[in-house]
């Protein structure tokens, strides 16, 4: 029996060898595939956890952005009001002075200037902090990420503080320069308009459009200058040698300038400004509603030209808008800016750029 089996094996030796090789190869390949599948699943799980961690950190960072904007609005409002103090003019008018008309003319320019400056500066504050805090957020994510190759933090607390203090330019020199440009545009647009002349909401919108066009066509400085000082200005106070933290801060500021000079940032800023001025007009529209039963409300309920008000009555309405524009409690104006989809998408792109290790290496 054994001899016949052995004979059978000898006759089919090649088949047995081939089959053994195939079976062995399949087994080895199976083990290899199983190992690779395990590694793939492990990598997938690790990547998923990393993405979830980064997403959570990003969302937390956006909440910080929102809270920071709200906390900065009171000092911004104070800075605007201190420079464009209409309250002092109002107090003078109550005393019935001889130069009443002259004071009213000053109040007209100051009121429109400070409200328009409030819209510009609030919009700038929203987008600038979105850039700054997402750059910092990206670096902080890398500092705390698993497998970070160096123990040296990319954004130590001292650097963060120094970097974020650059926002003072927008509340200081940048704001004063913006006021100068806006005031000049307001004088050209409204300086010759009589206090007795009536304006509809549509005509008021046209006036704001003219002022915006002149302000944003200013060739002396780009809009980004009002938000962040030039590199030379930022280093002007450095009398001694630069420390490591100073160099890290300068690097952050240069990266921020690159962002502010990008076409994407220009687009987002324009979208934000458009929304801000649109919200301002929505708020002003509440004062241009025809009284119930008025013929205007019967024939043209939706017309922007249905109601006109004398400029003297529009001035105090415009003057009071700063209280809702720069409100530390979340107003419709501020919420519109913070919740804008394009602002949020831009913020995500900034965070993505600065939280990716390969971008850091580049």
Q: In the chain, where are the structural domains located?
A: 70-361
Distance (Å, rounded) from C-alpha 272 to C-alpha 120?
9
Average pLDDT, the chain: 82
Whether the per-residue pLDDT at 26 is higher than 70: the answer is no
* pLDDT exceeds 80 at position 187: yes
Range of 45-59, 107-121, 277-291 with top mean pLDDT: 107-121
- pTM recorded for the entire structure: 0.82
- Residue 345 confidence (pLDDT): 93
pLDDT at 128: 96
- The answer to whether 60 and 84 have CB atoms below 8 angstroms apart is no
SS3 331: coil
CA angle 129, 131, 136 (to 5 degrees): 90
Type and span of the H or E element at 254: helix 244-260
pLDDT tens-digit profile of 263-279? Answer: 999 999 999 999 999 99
**Token reading at 102:** 């002259």
Round to whole Å and give the CA distance between 122 and 272: 10
Q: Per mean pLDDT, which range of 27-31, 254-258, 269-273 is the poorest?
A: 27-31
Which residue bears the tokens 């040698």? 241
The owner of tokens 């708020």 is: 283
In this prediction, residue 231 carries a pLDDT of 60
Tokens (6 digits) for 105: 């003319």
CA 17 to chain centre: 71
CA–CA gap between residue 83 and residue 175 (Å, rounded): 9
Residue 45: predicted pLDDT: 43
What separation in angstroms does the CA of 109 have from each of 90, 193, 250, 286, 315? 13, 11, 39, 22, 9
Helix (H) or strand (E) holding 242: none
Whether the predicted pLDDT of 47 surpasses 70:
no
DSSP 22: H
Taking only the tens place, the pLDDT of each residue in 100-147 is 999 999 999 999 999 999 999 999 999 999 999 999 988 888 877 755
Q: Which residue has the higher pLDDT, 249 or 239?
A: 249
Q: Which of 184-188, 345-349, 351-355 has the least mean pLDDT? A: 351-355
From residue 173, how far is each of 70, 226, 227, 272 by CA, in Å? 21, 8, 9, 22
Mean per-residue pLDDT, 302-316: 83
Q: How confident is the model at residue 299 (pLDDT cuts 50, 70, 90)?
A: very low
| Crossing angle for the helix pair 263-285 and 100-144, to the nearest 10 degrees | 140
Which of these ranges, 9-23, 220-234, 273-287, has the smallest mean pLDDT?
9-23
């Amino acid at each position: 029996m054994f001899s016949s089996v052995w004979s059978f094996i000898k006759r089919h030796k090649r088949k047995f060898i081939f089959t053994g090789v195939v079976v062995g190869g399949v087994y080895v390949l199976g083990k290899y595939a199983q190992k690779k599948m395990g590694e793939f699943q492990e990598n997938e799980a690790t990547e998923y956890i990393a993405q979830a961690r980064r997403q959570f950190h990003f969302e937390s960072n956006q909440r910080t952005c929102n809270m920071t904007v709200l906390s900065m609005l009171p000092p911004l409002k104070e800075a605007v009001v201190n420079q464009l103090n209409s309250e002092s003019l109002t107090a003078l008018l109550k005393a019935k002075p001889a130069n009443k008309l002259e004071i009213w003319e000053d109040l007209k320019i100051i009121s429109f200037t400070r409200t328009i400056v409030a819209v510009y500066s609030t919009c700038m504050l929203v987008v600038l902090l979105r850039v700054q805090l997402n750059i910092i957020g990206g670096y902080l994510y890398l500092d705390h990420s698993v497998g970070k190759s160096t123990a040296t933090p990319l954004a130590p607390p001292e650097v963060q503080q120094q970097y974020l203090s650059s926002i003072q330019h927008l509340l200081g020199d940048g704001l004063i320069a913006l006021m100068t440009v806006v005031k000049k545009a307001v004088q050209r647009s409204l300086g010759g308009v009589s206090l007795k002349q009536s304006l509809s909401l549509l005509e008021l919108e046209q006036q704001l459009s003219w002022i915006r066009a002149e302000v944003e066509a200013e060739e002396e400085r780009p809009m980004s200058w009002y938000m962040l000082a030039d590199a030379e200005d930022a280093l002007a106070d450095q009398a001694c040698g630069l420390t490591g933290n100073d160099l890290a801060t300068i690097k952050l500021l240069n990266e921020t300038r690159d962002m502010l000079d990008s076409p994407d940032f220009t687009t987002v800023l324009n979208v934000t400004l458009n929304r801000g001025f649109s919200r301002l007009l929505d708020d002003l529209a509440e004062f241009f509603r025809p009284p119930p039963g008025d013929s205007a409300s019967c024939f043209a309920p939706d017309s922007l030209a249905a109601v006109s008000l004398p400029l003297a009555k529009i001035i105090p309405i415009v003057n009071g808008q700063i209280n809702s524009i720069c409100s530390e409690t979340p107003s419709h104006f501020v919420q519109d800016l913070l919740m804008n989809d394009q602002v949020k998408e831009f913020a995500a792109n900034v965070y993505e750029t600065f939280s990716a290790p390969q971008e850091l290496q580049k």
